[in-house]
Structure 1
Amino acid sequence: MTFSIKSNALLTLTLTISILSCAQNTTEKATPIFKDGEAQIVDAFKDASQWIRHDLWVETEFDTDGDGEPDRMHVSVTRPEQTESEGLKLPIVYVTSPYFAGVAADAPGTMWNVEHELGEIGEERFHPEVQRRGQRPIISNSHIRKWVPRGYIVVHSSSPGTGLSDGAPTIGGANESLAPKTVVDWLCGRAKGYTERNGDKEVKAFWSTGKVGMTGTSYNGTLPLAAATTGVEGLEAIIPIAPNTSYYHYYRSNGLVRSPGGYLGEDIDVLYDFVHSGDEDKREYNNKTVRDTEMKNGMDRETGDYNEFWAGRDYLNQMDGMKAALLMSHGFNDWNVMPEHSYRIYKAAKEKGLPTMIYYHQNGHGGPPPTSMMNKWFTKYLHGIDNGVEKEENKVYIVREYDDRQQPTAYKDYPNPEAEDVTLNLFSGGKNIGGLTLNNVENAGEMFSDDATISGSEHAKASSSKHRLLYVTPKLKEDLHISGVPKVTISLASSKPAANLSVWLVSLPWQEGKEVKITDNIITRGWADPKNHNSLTKEEDLVVGKDYSITFDLQPDDQIIKLGQQIGFMIFSSDKEFTLHPEPGTEIMIHLDKTKLTLPIVGGKAAFKKATE
Structure 2
Amino acid sequence: MKRRLVLAVVTGIAATVAVSASPASAAGGVPHVKGGETVPVYSYENAVRESVWVQTPLDNDLDGVPDKIAVDIVRPRETAERHLKVPVILEGSPYYSCCGRGNESERKQYDASGTIVKQPLYYDNYFVPRGYAFVAADLAGTGRSTGCMDVGGREEVLGAKAVVDWLNGRARATYADGTPAVATRWTNGRTGMIGKSWDGSVANGVAATGVEGLETIVPISAISSWYDYQRYNGVLRAEDYPEFLHRYVNGRPAEACAETLARLDRDSDDATGDYNAYWAERDFRPDARKVRASVFIAHGLNDTNVTTDQFAQWWGRLGVPKKMWLYQAGHVDPFDLRRAEWVDTLHRWFDRWLQGLRNGIDREPRVSIETAPGAWVSERDWPAAPARTQRITLGNGDGTTGTLGGASGRAVRTWTDAPDLSEAAAVAGPNTAVAGRVAFLSAPLSREVRVSGTPSVTLRVRVDKPTTELTARLVDYGTATRVDYLGRGEGITTLPTESCWGASTAADDACYRDTAASLITSDHAIVTRGWQDAAHRVSLRFRTPLRHDRWYTVTVPMQATDQRIAAGHVLGLILQASDNEYSTPQSTGATIRLDLRGSSLSLPLVGRLPAPGATAPAVSAEPVPSTFAPPRFDPLVP
TM-score bin (small chain): 0.7 to 0.9
| Structure holding more strand per residue | 2
Partner of 1:470: 439
Q: Structure 1 residue aligned with 2:280, among 311, 333, 353?
A: 311
Conservation of the 8 A alpha-carbon contact between 1:333 and 1:518 = no
Conservation of the 8 A alpha-carbon contact between 2:477 and 2:523 = no
Partner of 2:271: 302
Conservation of the 8 A alpha-carbon contact between 2:221 and 2:332 = yes
Q: Structure 1 residue aligned with 2:189, among 181, 186, 210?
A: 210
Q: Which amino acid in 1 is paired with 2:272?
A: T
2:286 counterpart of 1:359:
no
Partner of 1:287: 258
CA distance in 1, matches of 2:221, 2:17: 45
Partner of 1:500: 469
Partner of 1:578: 582
2:366 counterpart of 1:395:
yes
2:313 counterpart of 1:336:
no
What SS does the corresponding residue of 1:595 show, helix, strand or coil? strand
2:204 counterpart of 1:225:
yes
Per-residue deviation at 1:240?
Answer: 0.5
Conservation of the 8 A alpha-carbon contact between 1:147 and 1:154 = yes
User: 1:30-429 to 2 correspondence within 5 Å?
Assistant: 31-35=31-35, 38-40=37-39, 42=40, 44-45=41-42, 47-102=43-98, 135=110, 136-138=114-116, 140-142=119-121, 143-196=123-176, 199-259=178-238, 265=239, 267-278=241-252, 280=253, 283-288=254-259, 290-292=260-262, 294-350=263-319, 354-368=320-334, 370-392=342-364, 394-403=365-374, 408-429=376-397
| Structure holding more helix per residue | 1
Conservation of the 8 A alpha-carbon contact between 2:426 and 2:437 = yes
Cα gap change, 1:84/1:200 in structure 2, threshold over 3 Å: closer, same or farther?
Answer: closer
Per-residue deviation at 1:181?
Answer: 1.5
Per-residue deviation at 1:432?
Answer: 4.3
Calculate the aligned-residue CA RMSD, in Å.
2.7
Structure with more relative contact order (C-alpha pairs < 8 Å, separation 6 or more): 2
Rg larger for = 1
What SS does the corresponding residue of 2:288 show, helix, strand or coil? helix
Q: Which amino acid in 1 is paired with 2:62?
A: G
CA distance in 1, matches of 2:17, 2:416: 80
Question: CA offsets, 1:276-323, max 9 Å, x none?
Answer: 113x2xx324222x221x222221212211111111110012334221
Per-residue deviation at 1:258?
Answer: 2.4
Conservation of the 8 A alpha-carbon contact between 1:430 and 1:446 = no
User: 1:432-511 to 2 correspondence within 5 Å?
Assistant: 432-437=400-405, 439-462=406-429, 463-509=432-478
2:505 counterpart of 1:535:
no
Q: Structure 2 residue aligned with 1:516, among 520, 543, 547?
A: 520
Question: CA offsets, 1:556-584, max 9 Å, x none?
Answer: 11110112211100100111212234568
Partner of 2:566: 562
Aligned residue pair count? 537
Per-residue deviation at 1:372?
Answer: 2.2
CA distance in 1, matches of 2:60, 2:95: 19
Conservation of the 8 A alpha-carbon contact between 1:474 and 1:612 = yes
Conservation of the 8 A alpha-carbon contact between 2:128 and 2:134 = yes
What SS does the corresponding residue of 1:358 show, helix, strand or coil? strand
Partner of 2:557: 553
TM superposition score normalised by structure 1: 0.82
Q: Which amino acid in 1 is paired with 2:392?
A: L
What SS does the corresponding residue of 1:400 show, helix, strand or coil? strand
Partner of 1:127: none
Conservation of the 8 A alpha-carbon contact between 1:469 and 1:572 = yes
Conservation of the 8 A alpha-carbon contact between 2:294 and 2:322 = yes
Per-residue deviation at 1:383?
Answer: 0.3
Per-residue deviation at 1:231?
Answer: 1.6
Greater shift, 178-187 or 540-549, is seen at 540-549
CA distance in 2, matches of 1:88, 1:361: 39
Conservation of the 8 A alpha-carbon contact between 2:578 and 2:587 = no
Cα gap change, 1:25/1:448 in structure 2, threshold over 3 Å: closer, same or farther?
Answer: closer
CA distance in 2, matches of 1:611, 1:208: 63
Q: Which amino acid in 2 is paired with 1:251?
A: Q
Per-residue deviation at 1:589?
Answer: 1.1
Per-residue deviation at 1:189?
Answer: 2.1
CA distance in 1, matches of 2:290, 2:313: 17
Partner of 2:609: 608
Cα gap change, 1:444/1:89 in structure 2, threshold over 3 Å: closer, same or farther?
Answer: same
Question: CA offsets, 1:450-485, max 9 Å, x none?
Answer: 212221121111333121001010111221111111
Cα gap change, 1:277/1:431 in structure 2, threshold over 3 Å: closer, same or farther?
Answer: farther
Question: CA offsets, 1:586-612, max 9 Å, x none?
Answer: 321111111100111114xxx334899
Conservation of the 8 A alpha-carbon contact between 1:362 and 1:519 = no
Question: CA offsets, 1:304-350, max 9 Å, x none?
Answer: 11111111110012334221111111111111101111111111113
Cα gap change, 1:450/1:429 in structure 2, threshold over 3 Å: closer, same or farther?
Answer: farther
CA distance in 2, matches of 1:193, 1:57: 5
CA distance in 2, matches of 1:448, 1:74: 55
CA distance in 2, matches of 1:429, 1:611: 9
Cα gap change, 1:34/1:501 in structure 2, threshold over 3 Å: closer, same or farther?
Answer: farther
Per-residue deviation at 1:416?
Answer: 0.7
Give unmatched runs, 5+ long, in structure 1: 1-23, 105-131, 260-264
TM superposition score normalised by structure 2: 0.79
Among the aligned pairs, what percent are the same residue? Answer: 30
Give unmatched runs, 5+ long, in structure 2: 1-13, 20-29, 101-106, 336-341, 485-517, 615-638
CA distance in 2, matches of 1:612, 1:385: 58
Cα gap change, 1:452/1:38 in structure 2, threshold over 3 Å: closer, same or farther?
Answer: farther
2:575 counterpart of 1:595:
no
What SS does the corresponding residue of 1:338 show, helix, strand or coil? coil
CA distance in 2, matches of 1:257, 1:581: 7
CA distance in 1, matches of 2:173, 2:38: 29
Q: Which amino acid in 2 is paired with 1:384?
A: G
What SS does the corresponding residue of 1:310 show, helix, strand or coil? helix
Question: CA offsets, 1:406-461, max 9 Å, x none?
Answer: xx311111111111111111122588432111x44313211112212221121111
CA distance in 1, matches of 2:523, 2:280: 33
